[in-house]
């Protein structure tokens, strides 16, 4: 009985961290989004505390807990997200690294890219940021390159469109 072995790849394959950081302004964007959500929650609970006297004994501990968790979230999470998020786009693939506790590295070959979109919500516009969404022929869904400078995002979308049009493949 003979055994078959696979030929080694012509070039060594290895996963390297994407080399681009997102914009540092993304910390402020994430913090402001969180601050708005926390303010709505704390405001609603405070209103309930003031207006619903019979419910005060159980609303106050919840209000204190939400405020405490909110402050901790604001102090940690935006900086943590900034430290983790990375991206890179080459002639061969788009790379994204995200995750909080579980790190996710996604690689999409250019031949699998179907659409490239740029999104700038009101808060992102205020911070000069954008998100590039790369939709691929993958069951895992689109890749999101968040917190990019809006000019970098526009150039990236233009470059990815050019590269995918010139790349053979069926994107399915």
- 104: nearest Cα among 28, 165, 15, 37: 15
Domain CATH for 90: 2.30.29.210
This prediction has a pTM of: 0.82
Residue 129 covered by a domain: yes
- Lowest-confidence region among 60-64, 82-86, 129-133, 139-143: 139-143
Banded model confidence at residue 169, pLDDT cuts 50, 70, 90? low
pLDDT value, residue 13 = 46
Mean pLDDT, the chain, whole residue set: 88
Residue 4 covered by a domain: no
CA 44 to chain centre: 29
Banded model confidence at residue 170, pLDDT cuts 50, 70, 90? low
Asked whether the beta carbons of 132 and 118 are under 8 A apart, the reply is: yes
Q: Tabulate helix, strand, coil % of the chain (nearest 5).
A: 50, 25, 25
Q: Which domain holds residue 125?
A: 86-166
- 93: nearest Cα among 72, 75, 73, 107: 107
Identify whether residues 90 and 149 lie together within a single domain: yes
């Amino acid at each position: 009985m003979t055994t078959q072995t696979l030929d080694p790849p012509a070039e060594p394959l290895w996963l390297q961290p994407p080399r681009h950081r997102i914009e540092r302004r993304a910390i402020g964007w994430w913090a402001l989004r969180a601050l708005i959500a926390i303010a709505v929650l704390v405001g609603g609970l405070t209103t309930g505390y003031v207006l619903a006297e019979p419910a005060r004994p159980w609303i106050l501990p919840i209000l204190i807990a939400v405020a405490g968790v909110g402050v901790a979230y604001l102090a940690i999470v935006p900086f943590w997200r900034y430290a983790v998020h990375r991206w890179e786009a080459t002639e061969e693939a788009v790379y994204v690294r995200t995750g909080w506790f579980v790190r996710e590295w996604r690689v999409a070959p250019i031949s699998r890219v179907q659409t490239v979109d740029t999104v700038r919500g009101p808060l992102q516009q205020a911070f000069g940021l954008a998100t590039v969404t790369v939709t691929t022929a993958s069951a895992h869904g689109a890749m999101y390159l968040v917190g990019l400078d809006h000019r970098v995002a526009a150039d990236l979308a233009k470059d990815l469109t050019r590269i995918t049009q010139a790349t053979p493949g069926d994107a399915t």
